[in-house]
């Protein structure tokens, strides 16, 4: 059975780090719409420039663009055995579109990483990003450990923009929790713990739900 995972959480919750860590441990691709959009912005394409302007204001890119990006990415061969989605879906409309995309591809496991707002503002205010590869790091480092590039503060990590991003998240993305919470494949995790503890809790939750799904499917054999 394919392992299809969504990692939800507000900006600064650590969902990107946890998604990458989990994907690497399971040998499946991490699909980050944020990385795709930043790459397009760096390339200077028309759609990339529009997306960059929206992101710099702390707003969200439109559903139609994001749905098409994800649909195309999930059609690639490396995602057929599973994937980890980071940054999508962000709205109920995107979640409904993803359900349609996933028909016949197995269930979605949804993990929501929860962190208090004050901690999110603190984390984002100290976060740096590599100009070369886009990796995140905590200050006061100035050089990227991954590629040696220069670390700078993201424009959308300015405190005023951070608070706007959290407001937009609460308004538009938090309803996803209500959309998914009644599913047996949904879990909420405490993201205020250390990264190692969050990673362990995430892996345990996924494995428990995966085992339950296998058992349920096994029980639906012929004649049931």
Catalytic site positions: 15, 90, 127, 154, 165
- Can you count the helices (H) and strands (E) in the chain? 9, 8
Closest CA to 95 of 164, 16, 181, 165: 181
- DSSP for 138-198 reads ETT--B-TTT-PBEE--GGGSHHHHHHHHHHIIIIITHHHHHHTTSTTEEEEETTS-HHHH
**First and final CA of the chain: distance in angstroms?**
20
Q: Could you tell me the CA-to-CA distances from 218 to 108, 210, 212 in Å, in that order?
A: 18, 12, 10
Q: What is the DSSP letter of 78?
A: G
Q: Is 59 exposed, middle or buried (0-12, 13-18, 19+ CB in 10 A)?
A: middle
Phi, psi of 7 (to 5 degrees): -110, 115
């Amino acid at each position: 059975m394919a392992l299809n995972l969504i990692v939800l959480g507000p900006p600064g919750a650590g969902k990107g780090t946890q998604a990458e860590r989990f994907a690497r441990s399971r040998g499946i691709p991490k699909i980050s719409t944020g990385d795709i959009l930043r790459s397009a912005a760096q390339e200077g394409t028309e759609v990339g420039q529009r997306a960059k302007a929206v992101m710099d204001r702390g707003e969200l890119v439109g559903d139609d663009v994001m749905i098409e990006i994800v649909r195309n990415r999930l059609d690639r061969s490396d995602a057929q055995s599973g994937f980890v989605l980071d940054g999508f879906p962000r709205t109920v409309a995107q979640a409904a579109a993803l359900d349609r995309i996933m028909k016949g591809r197995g269930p979605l496991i949804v993990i929501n990483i929860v962190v208090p707002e004050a901690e999110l503002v603190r984390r984002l205010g100290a976060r740096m990003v590599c100009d070369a590869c886009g990796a995140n790091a905590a200050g006061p480092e100035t050089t990227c450990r991954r590629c040696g590039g220069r670390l700078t503060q993201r424009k959308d990590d300015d405190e005023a923009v951070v608070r706007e991003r959290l407001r937009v998240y609460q308004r538009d993305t938090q309803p996803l929790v209500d959309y998914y919470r009644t599913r047996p494949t949904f879990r909420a995790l405490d993201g205020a713990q250390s990264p190692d503890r969050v990673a362990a809790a995430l892996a345990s939750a996924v494995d428990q739900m995966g085992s339950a799904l296998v058992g349920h499917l096994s029980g639906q054999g012929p004649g049931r």
